Chain A
Amino acid sequence: METIADFEIQYSQFLDPDGRPSDTLPDFAQDSEQLIEMYRQMTLVRIFDGKAINLQRTGKLGTYASSLGHEASHVGIGAAMRPEDCLAPSYREYGAMLWRGVKMSEILLYWGGDERGSRFEHAPHDFPFCVPIATQCLHAAGAAMAYQLRGEPRCAVSINGDGGTSEGAFYEALNVAGAKKLPVVFVVINNKWAISVPLELQTASRTLAQKAVAAGIPGLQVDGNDVIAVRHWMERALERARRGEGPALIEAITYRLSDHTTADDASRYRKKEEVEAARAIEPLLRLRRYLVEQGLWDDAREEALRAECVERVDAAVESYINTPRAPVTDMFDYLFEKLPDHLVAQREMAQHYDRGGRH
């Protein structure tokens, strides 16, 4: 017997939880502006998230999926992509979506039960929110195939969770991307939980990055609470894909600090101590520590940033709250390019019965 294949999975981290460099920082991280920009975005998302949860609690928003604790993973992905690339997100990656141009008011509309939330006025190529788990991985592969066929130097990125790696669509996407050398990067946000199902019930696999091995593509694990690591390895994977060298899988290790959604109660299935331990290594803290250590940040700046974020979030909430319900005809008007005849009568009937949101 001889070994004919074996594999290794690398793990990368640049900033440890105390904000101390644990590796030589990549070039972009020498540029304080870029680091601060990412910190600002992470702070904005965090404040937005808290506000959204309050809106839900006070009956002004539907079920909402929090991104608390995922800010570095999400922002790192967004920051590494080019505008002409294409993102196929799941449903909680606001840090990436906002970076791509999605508006906070759109995210609120979506969770407020309004299709206009997926309009993405300023993110023209991106796929909308994707609730059916892992289906979007194939869309990213397909988008990449379109770019490949047209010879365009563009990439697609999909984001799914640890739970999503159990779906067939996830493997199918990795496999076809490997077989066709598609310019796509698959990101798995491993936040340890899929609603109430912990990773060890999801898979016997030691890492999720190694799922790449069977597809013949590179797989790497990064500290998902370290925005520098996420952005750096995303950039490397995207460059590689753009050069025609094929897809990659990046597993970002983080933790879902919130309930799954506002409809969930995580205290039913996981221990407080586990959450507390994860909170101690959360992503904003570590980047702030590093920035402070470098003399790039202080309490006054922090306070000013928070005030600015609160203002921006409040403006988005205002715009959301003041968006009147869509006309009932909206149900019909985006179904096909042209409304088929038999639907004209149904459209009129819906108008006739429209209760204007009262029921």
Chain B
Amino acid sequence: MAAITLIEGVTRALAHEMERDERVIVLGEDVGVNGGVFRATAGLQQRFGDQRVQDTPLAEAMIAGLSVGMAAQGMRPVAEIQFEGFVYPAVDQIVNHAARLRTRTRGRLTCPMVLRVPYGGGIHAPEHHSDSPEAMFAHMPGIRVVIPSSPARAYGLLLAAIRSPDPVVFFEPKRIYRLQKQEVPDDGEALPLDVCYTLREGEDVTVVTWGAMTWETLKAADQLADDGISCEIIDVATISPLDHETILESVERTGRLCIVQEAPRSFGVASEIAAVVAEQALYSLRTPISRVTGYDTIMPLFRLETEYMPSVQRVVDGIRAALEE
């Protein structure tokens, strides 16, 4: 069996679920003949036809709203937003409708839809193509926010997202779409949502991250291992609802916490994780919590983007900061 990339994990999950469940509909801009601008839906229209894989007109509010309508009436739409920078017209539909349809109708209507959104920097893309807005969505009650960090988790988490009875915003870290190949059997096995994944066990410090930053974090941990520092690395995977237990259990053991995110520093997911630990494990902490993040600036165009995004060096320094008494 040939190893596949993260984006092929997405394609494989879509194909598997379309084959298994005829309610699954793929829609979005350029997802049909073109197979998506990143090729995530490559071959699906040829295989499943243009009813089940629909090129839509260019309008994100429409794509999200159409998905809400379909989902409420028994379909399982999986919509693609071309880049995170274009998700904003869809926010009205996601926040005001997808997130609260179940609540508003006391469970009569539900919204099992997935919005797939490639996100993040590092691919030398044009303007508005490199942001990390996961916290905005995580802040909104009623939606799940899921981010894979490997081909296997892309496959397993996307299957879970499509099967989820509630709406999921599935952010795909485009920087690592093709970085790594893994053997991923097409066995239809979903991975659990709402739990963190421990990528590496360790004793000295807990490092929490997600998406593409898992790569810089693993490299930083390798460097620190040479100095005898043992990092426990946790991939959050489901940003919201956040799995407190895995993080707290780890921090209680290591007594130290560093959080790594590509998104801006303030009011983000790292802030939430820090707050949870401060509330529930303050007395386990032997040192102050450390955060390694993007800056509170507009994501710069690509000549400066690598200065914006946390580098391995910044992660190393951030973890060291968490080790200082």
Contacts and interface: CB of A to CB of B under 8 A. Distances in A.
Interface of A: 62-63, 91, 110-115, 117, 129, 131-133, 163-164, 166-169, 194-197, 201-203, 261, 263-264, 268-269, 325-326, 328, 330-332, 335, 342-343, 346, 349-350, 353-355, 357, 359
B302 A196 contact: no
Contacts of B34: 195-196, 268-269
25 contacts: A63-B124, A112-B303, A113-B124, A113-B303, A115-B300, A133-B58, A133-B86, A163-B57, A166-B59, A167-B58, A167-B59, A168-B89, A194-B58, A195-B29, A197-B29, A325-B303, A325-B304, A331-B304, A331-B308, A332-B295, A343-B295, A349-B295, A350-B295, A353-B314, A355-B306
A164 B86 CA distance: 13
B298 interface: yes
A337 to B, nearest CB: 15
Contacts of A350: 295, 307-308
A168 B295 contact: no
B32 A331 contact: no
A169 to B, nearest CB: 8
B61 A168 contact: yes
A355 B124 contact: no
B57 A353 contact: no
Interface in B26-57: 29-30, 32-35, 37, 55, 57
A166 B30 contact: no
B311 A114 contact: no
A359 B296 contact: no
Closest 3 CB pairs of A and B: A113-B302, A196-B34, A166-B57
Contacts of B266: 342
B55 A197 contact: yes
A332 B297 CA distance: 6
A132 B58 contact: no
Interface of B: 29-30, 32-35, 37, 55, 57-59, 61-62, 85-86, 88-89, 124-129, 265-266, 295-298, 300-308, 311, 313-314
Given A346-B265, A359-B311, A114 B30 contact: no
A15 B295 CA distance: 54
Contacts of B314: 353
A91 B300 CA distance: 18
Contacts of A62: 124-126, 302
B37 A353 contact: no
Nearest to A113: B302
Given A131-B126, A201-B57, A202-B57, A353 B307 contact: yes
A207 B302 CA distance: 38
Nearest to A133: B58
A197 B303 contact: no
A196 B30 contact: yes
Contacts of B88: 132
